[in-house]
Structure 1
């Protein structure tokens, strides 16, 4: 079985390959830009999957993720990538200065579509807290700021293998992989 992942983010590709190998799903990667509409993560994933599937004429997955900080009313949320490139982690830490409620969630939505079907959506969520300083050199983006619940280390301090065991992206990709494997097996 194979699936084509539409993304320009090599970190996401590496995480997905590590997860899909447990399901005997071969991951192909294409960096096809697609318009990212404004809206919720599910809106972005649905639109991206539908757009890419029709443009390429084949089944695809896209993934959109964001960091949602409760004290900042869900910011940066769907703007996580833009905020990361403009404010960065230091900017988030400045916004969180003197904030006691540091609860946050990483959310990931995988959208799957074929040229002739409406998108299927798979959500993954991991709760945790924003640290007071960056810790760790692993991962990417907000990983050095996010300490998942029940852990004393940030995503940035965990190996990619350990992060993949509990990450929001693992959850959404694994939900997709289970569904996809079941669909393919029922077709055969």
Structure 2
């Protein structure tokens, strides 16, 4: 059994579809202000391992918009809570370069093991409107091809998403040990 440390039920559902034997635990951990998702994730797992002393993982992800210099990036969760998808769409109003990517960093550790990191990226673009009712967060405004992530069923999203890629990489490493 691996404890997936997250309060986000959507992340847990997506991860559980890829990795067997996950248990969601909403333990909370310090999300430091840092320049990279990797720094945030490693700090978090080290804090968790000091308390938990069992196999655990966490995931940090960010939306990086090219025309906004990579914003919101490592601040994606805060930006989602404060200005949301409508705020991002307003920031993008009149901007023709709508290229963006999602990046996911999964970090795993267990007693006696240095943290192992796995990442996934999906490239797409910011749409002109929010579409779809599946998923969570920025999914309604992040498009891959003609569809937003929120218009995709879980299986379709998990074939292409950043989170699915990082989770699959962890799963392959775990199976290969």
What TM-score does the superposition give when structure 1 sets the normalisation length?
Answer: 0.91
Is structure 2 residue 31 aligned with structure 1 residue 36? Answer: yes
Q: 3-state SS of the aligned residue for 1:82?
A: helix
Gaps of 5+ in 2: none
| Superposed CA offset, 1:120-169 (max 9, x none) | 11010000000011111111110010112xx2111011111211111000
- Structure 1, unmatched stretches of 5+, are 184-188
Question: Following TM superposition, by how much is the alpha carbon of 1:110 offset from its aligned partner in structure 2, in angstroms?
Answer: 0.2
Aligned pair 1:59/2:58, yes or no? no
Which residue of 2 is the match for residue 26 of structure 1?
A: 21
What CA distance in whole angstroms lies between the structure 1 residues aligned with 2:24 and 2:150? 24
Alignment of 1:125-164 (within 5 A): 125-148=121-144, 151-164=145-158
Instruction: Give the equivalent residue in structure 2 for 1:9.
Output: 8
Provide the secondary structure at the position in 2 that maps to 1:179: helix
SS of the equivalent of 1:85 reads helix
SS across alignment from 1:48: helix
Select which of 110, 118, 122 maps to 1:122: 118
Secondary structure at the residue paired with 1:19? coil
1:73 matches 2:69: yes
Cα deviations by residue, 1:2-40 (Å, 9 ceiling, x for unpaired) = 3110001000110011111xxxx2111110100001111
Say if 1:66 and 1:79, in contact at 8 Å, map to a contact too: yes
The answer for the alignment partner of 1:186 in structure 2 is none
Q: Deviations over 1:66-85 (max 9, x none)?
A: 10000000000011111001
Aligned CA-pair RMSD: 0.9
Aligned partners of 2:113, 2:21: CA distance in 1, in Å? 22
Q: Which residue of 1 aligns with 2:81?
A: 85
CA distance in 1, matches of 2:152, 2:53: 38
- The one of 151, 164, 173 equivalent to 1:170 is 164
SS in 2 for 1:118: strand
* SS of equivalent residue, structure 2 residue 133: coil
